[in-house]
Structure 1
Amino acid sequence: MYILAWICGLGLLTFVFGDLLDRQENPNREPESVRIENQTEVRLKQNRAGHYVTAGTINGVPVEFMIDTGATDVAIPAHLQERLGLIPTGSVLAQTANGVVRVARTELNSVSIGDITVHNVRANLNPGMNGEQILLGMSVLKQLEFTQRGEWLILRTL
């Protein structure tokens, strides 16, 4: 009986602390939108590593983004192509943080964070990227106004 109680206690602690760690990695799991005059605004809080990570969608499919102002386009791990229903339209060489890599070009019908949605976005499918996180680059950000204030990144429609 004591062993079962210890196992249940350890399982509960794992669940609680696992959720806490997930929130520290992505404090913007449910980004809230605010309507100010004719603009929609989303505020993203920095995670403990100093990055802006948020939940969003690509073509209506839930994904996790990391904001990357140094990325020209949206960079998607190639293994997510099928899940996101993406069709490659050619390939190019791209300069990445890990060197030069051949990526497949694609176009996203829509990218959303909270109530902000942009359409017809250039993206690439990168076979060198692992994991599930997608880099949200300037092909989206140039369609928005963005400002950093302290630990917050404010995205606003134009």
Structure 2
Amino acid sequence: MIGRNIFLFAVGAVLMSQVPSLLGLTDISEPVKTTQATAPSAPPSPARLAAISADDRGHFNAVFRINGRPVDGMIDTGASLVALNESTARRIGIAGSRLQFKHQVSTANGKTEAAHVVLDEVELQGVRVRQVDAFVLRDTALSSTLVGMSFLKKLKSFRVDRGTLKLSQ
């Protein structure tokens, strides 16, 4: 469970422009799953891939589906979790009355309070991840959705190749 740790939400483009190798060399693998020798093996499922081209400022923006609803978001490797504002959270079905703003976080705009939630599903171009940790911040603290490491670390890999962010599941 997430304690009262301070989570940094930095602008993804700044991190990517200063440390491009972070994305270019990142490969996050799932733990190896073992099966009994006598168990029949199913054919491997086809890999799901997504690609996002960088915009003119070097940001990786896309329309994600969060809990089944479209949400404009930006990939942010400096964010520990996916970060949503209250308005977006309400629009995707997270009731404001359920939110407990008890976590102190630092953002690019300063310190604020956040509520921890678990998103049922985050999807981009067929790449789908379930049970994704996220923070909801006040509308005044966050204007857009940041898709952070709680989504990315559940992928097989992600990397930047010639200005395109490639995600693999």
Q: 1: CA distance between counterparts of 2:124 and 2:153?
A: 15
Q: Secondary structure at the match of 1:100?
A: strand
- Could you tell me how far 1:81 is from its partner in structure 2? 2.2
More strand by share: 1
Counterparts of 1:90 and 1:137, CA distance in 2: 19
Q: Is the 8 A contact 1:44 1:54 kept in 2?
A: yes
Matches of 2:107 and 2:142, distance apart in 1? 10
Q: What displacement does 1:77 show?
A: 1.1
Change (3 A) 1:138 1:123: same
SS in 1 for 2:48: strand
Aligned to 1:138: 149
Quick one: which amino acid aligns to residue 75 of structure 1?
Answer: A
Q: Percent identity?
A: 31
1:44 maps to 2:52: yes
Task: Report the number of matched residues.
Answer: 120
Alpha-carbon separation, structure 2, partners of 1:138 and 1:50: 18
User: Secondary structure of the equivalent of 2:59?
Assistant: coil
Task: Give the Å deviation of 1:59.
Answer: 0.4
For structure 2, the 5+ residue unaligned runs are 1-44
* Secondary structure of 2:119's aligned partner: strand
Helix, strand or coil: the match of 2:87?
helix
Tell me: higher relative CO, structure 1 or 2? Use CA pairs within 8 A at least 6 residues apart.
2
TM-score by length of structure 1 reads 0.71
| Structure 1 gaps, min length 5 | 1-36
After superposition, what is the alpha-carbon deviation per residue over 1:39-97, rounded to whole angstroms, capped at 9, x for unaligned?
Answer: 11111100011100001111001111100000000000122222111142552001211
Detail structure 1 runs of 4+ shifted over 6 Å in the superposition.
Answer: none
Which of 98, 106, 111 is the matching residue for 1:100? 111
1:57 lines up with 2:56 in the alignment? no
Distance 2:127 2:135 in 1: 21
Is the aligned partner of 1:149 residue 2:161?
A: yes
Which residue of the partner structure matches residue 6 of structure 1? none
Deviations along 1:16-35, whole A, 9 cap, x unmatched? xxxxxxxxxxxxxxxxxxxx
Residue identity in the other structure for 2:107: T
Q: 1:78 corresponds to which residue?
A: 86
> Which has a greater percent of helix?
1
Answer whether contact 2:101 2:113 (CA < 8 A) is retained.
Answer: no
Q: Contact conserved, 1:89 with 1:106, CA < 8 A, in 2?
A: no
